[in-house]
Amino acid sequence: MSKEMSVILLGLWVIVVPYLGVPSSWRVILLVISGVAIAVLGLLLRGEAIVRGTHRRGTHAFVENIPDSAAHSTVQPQTHTTTQ
């Protein structure tokens, strides 16, 4: 099971536990253990996100939208000169 799915299931578990009818001392223990598990999984997911973010990607966010063939063409723009 993935870490993301574990966080979702633990979140649902935390929602359901108060309605299961368990004694309050057990409920507190279950919720504390669930909270610690969510925190640990969150830290692991954050660490993975940081590692993924440190790698440089080959694409750039601010590149103009021009066709690839036009970007490599050697055609020079025409300049208009006016004579008087």
In the chain, where are the structural domains located?
3-53
Query: What's the pLDDT at 3?
Result: 87
Query: What's the pLDDT at 49?
Result: 86
* C-beta of residue 27 within 8 angstroms of C-beta of residue 18: yes
Query: What's the pLDDT at 52?
Result: 84
Query: What's the pLDDT at 11?
Result: 92
DSSP-assigned letters across all residues of the chain: --HHHHHHHHHHHHHHGGGS---HHHHHHHHHHHHHHHHHHHHHHHHHHHHHHHSPPS--TT-----HHHHT--PPPP------
pLDDT tens for the chain, 84 residues: list them: 888 899 999 999 999 999 999 999 999 999 999 999 999 999 999 988 888 886 555 666 666 666 666 555 555 556 666 666
